[in-house]
Structure 1
Amino acid sequence: MSSALTGLFPHPIVQAPMAGGVSVPRLAAAVCEAGGLGFLAAGYKTADGMYQEIKQLRSLTSRPFGVNLFMPHPEYPGAGTGSTGAAGAAPSNAAAVGVYAHQLAGEAAWYETELGDPDSGRDDGYDAKLAVLLDNPVPVVSFHFGVPGTETLQALRRAGTLTLVTATSVDEARAVERAGADAVIVQGVEAGGHQGTHRDQPETDGTGIGLLSLLAQVREAVSLPLVAAGGIMRGSQIAAVLAAGASAAQLGTAFLATDESGAHALHKQALTNPLFVRTELTRAFSGRPARGLVNRFLREHGPYAPAAYPDVHHLTAPLRKAAAKAGDAQGMALWAGQGHRMAREMPAGRLVEVLAGELAAARTTLSDRPAQGGAL
């Protein structure tokens, strides 16, 4: 990794920014203090809300940290019109969301709440948040759901901020390099939460690439430093991605279960609860592919959810909130990576130390192992 980025944190361990109240300042601070790179998630927050969390984090640690931004989403064809478009064309975004809202009416009645307004905004306050980060620079900023313009990346560089952008394919990684970011976050399909695809197309569902294969492909295609993300839960896995060409590993689900995580208690418990045996990519809760534990809501509504983010996210927000309040994990968005059963409940700082120890042990084992040949 570039010397500037390498010098930020002693251990090649990055705590993934998890939106929705998980990546709170106390979690990021604990990771930073233990020698990793902690992240705040600005997604779904106002610009002022993000700024207040940055101030709080700075009061908890003097070490470098990062802030993650969601790229704005363009309007879908026909959005807000309710029209079906030309003859034979697929229903518009608004029409598809309307159909989905009708399907969710029973959920709203069950949880005694109203569905949210799907037209509650598409840009997540991106410009206002970017202005805050340029006026009050932080060490690292990462981007999800697309690539910022070259001018934006250059402005952040002039402010002393290093930039990372998520990519889920070789083509996306090349776009990140062309734009001038400092590093690529290579996200495999194993990752929990939202896939950071740059263009959300329904026909690409289920065709994601596993982390190690994607990492090897991207390593041959771009010259930027790489941060590996997707299903990493142990230090031995960190050793594997470093050997495959990454400079650091980003872990989300592993930190979700820690003491400082802001995740709901039911969410933390579900990671290792035998009732939740697998994960699946779904649009059920947000309209964009995101990996979560398979529960009732996902099973019943996932097959019918339209490709409409953030419309569906806004629509289901009151349902998810009501389910959490009612203590019903079957109605919550239980984001988790494929390695969720390996989650460990402990303080976040202790987890960084354990991971670093496992990484060192794995490296020692590999270096001590003699080369072996012979037939398979």
Structure 2
Amino acid sequence: MNSALTAIGLSVPVLAAPMAGGATTPRLVTAAAEAGGLGLLAGGYKRPEALAEQIAEVRAAAVPFGVNLFAPNPIPADPAAYRRYAGTIQPEADHYGLDLATVPLTEDDDHWRDKIDLLLADPVPLASFTFGIPDPAVIKALRAAGTLIAQTVTSAEEALRAADAGVNLLAVQAGAAGGHSGTLTPDRLPAATPITQLLREVAQVTDLPLIAAGGLATGDAVAEVLRAGAVAAMVGTVLIRADESGASKTHQDALADPARDRTLVTRAFTGRPARALRNAFTDRYDHLAPAGYPALHHLTGPLRRAAAAAGDAERLHLWAGTGYRHASAEPAARILARLTANL
């Protein structure tokens, strides 16, 4: 493993991916660290005050950890397309008495500056960024504060851009990953490059240490990416059903449903490419959804929250990587131990 990661406490080459929206909890991050790995709090969609509370909770456990933020890289929504899509999916919202016409077209930056200020005022061991690359001045300031910086990339070209910006590590994410793609060009679907090939392509353009991510859910898959040159593997979907996960029961149950037979990359829920289990919502609207993030995320948010609460898996974003069949309901430590048992 890379000395930078071992220096902050990693003894087993597996990281628990930051899963925004509730799946990643301080308990999950702590459990990953206590198993010898390292977890990253998901700063996306959280107000700075809520993120600060989670940081304090993990600090109290005295374990190594990281924080992931969404770096601004919006896809501005066309107002006419946004309203048209709101009308198209309104029948789904009618099921819960919701009027999507009242949801304003929102183009925000997820409290970006306030969250950076938080990490500068209260430095964490590791900060990672997804969706966009922070300004080099931000990266420099965080590094000066003693924070290790990782950047999610999905191609060799993106890896070069991240290296030029001054990051320490690259989280190389393949298209098999569940949830949102970290692609820097979210107006189009990311390439379906296998993770081992992607690692080789990135290693040809930079000497930065590489963390492999995307569809890794078995011990064999973890061993394969380590042999391919990664210093560690990052896993997410395989932990969604863990005891410490904060994912909704609706989401967890869907991962175990034998009738859920495939995943797809869709922008139907948020206007940005994301891999999810196929359901009625993706069947009806995948081909109709316009690009537009975060506007579509805010538009469908009330519907998705209602669906999760009602146990309605057909109207919920069932984020899942291609290894979702291996997600199991047990302690995170046991899951991580199984992934690294034969290393």
Q: TM-score range by the shorter chain?
A: over 0.9
Kept in 1, the 8 Å contact 2:15–2:233? The answer is: yes
Matching residue of 1:160: 146
Q: Hey, what's the Cα distance between the residues in 2 that align with 1:97 and 1:295? A: 22
Percent of pairs with identical residues: 46
Deviation of the 1:118 alpha carbon: 4.5
Deviation of the 1:206 alpha carbon: 5.6
Deviation of the 1:128 alpha carbon: 0.2
Kept in 1, the 8 Å contact 2:249–2:311? The answer is: no
Kept in 1, the 8 Å contact 2:29–2:58? The answer is: yes
Structure 1's unaligned 5+ residue stretches are 80-92, 361-376
Q: Say if 2:336 is the partner of 1:336.
A: no
- Structure 1 window deviating more from structure 2 (130-139 vs 118-127): it is 118-127
Kept in 1, the 8 Å contact 2:108–2:294? The answer is: yes
Q: Hey, what's the Cα distance between the residues in 2 that align with 1:67 and 1:206? A: 24
SS at match of 1:304: coil
Output one character per residue of 1:79-118: Cα deviation in whole Å (capped at 9) or x when no partner.
Answer: 5xxxxxxxxxxxxx11111110110111111121232635
Which of 84, 89, 92 is the aligned partner of 1:104?
89
Structure 2's unaligned 5+ residue stretches are none
Which of 227, 233, 236 is the aligned partner of 1:243?
227
Q: Which has the larger radius of gyration?
A: 1
The alignment yields a C-alpha RMSD, in angstroms, of 1.3
Q: Say if 2:30 is the partner of 1:68.
A: no
Deviation of the 1:119 alpha carbon: 2.9
Cα 1:75–1:15 change in 2 (3 A) is closer
Cα 1:177–1:46 change in 2 (3 A) is same
Q: Hey, what's the Cα distance between the residues in 1 that align with 2:177 and 2:293? A: 19
Output one character per residue of 1:239-258: Cα deviation in whole Å (capped at 9) or x when no partner.
Answer: 10011010000000011110
| Aligned pairs for 1:219-230 within 5 A | 219-230=203-214
Deviation of the 1:232 alpha carbon: 0.4
Q: Hey, what's the Cα distance between the residues in 1 that align with 2:225 and 2:268? A: 31
Kept in 1, the 8 Å contact 2:195–2:212? The answer is: yes
Residue type at the aligned position of 1:150: P
Kept in 2, the 8 Å contact 1:118–1:312? The answer is: no
Q: Hey, what's the Cα distance between the residues in 1 that align with 2:239 and 2:162? A: 27
SS at match of 1:72: coil
Deviation of the 1:57 alpha carbon: 1.5
Count of matched residue positions in the alignment of Structure 1 and Structure 2: 341
Q: Normalized against structure 2, the TM-score is what?
A: 0.96
Kept in 2, the 8 Å contact 1:9–1:36? The answer is: yes
Cα 1:10–1:118 change in 2 (3 A) is farther
Which of 353, 358, 372 is the aligned partner of 2:337?
353
Which of 170, 173, 176 is the aligned partner of 1:190?
176
| Aligned pairs for 1:1-376 within 5 A | 2-7=2-7, 8-59=9-60, 61-74=61-74, 76=76, 93-115=78-100, 117-202=103-188, 205=189, 207-357=191-341, 359-360=342-343
Kept in 1, the 8 Å contact 2:75–2:187? The answer is: no
SS at match of 1:23: coil
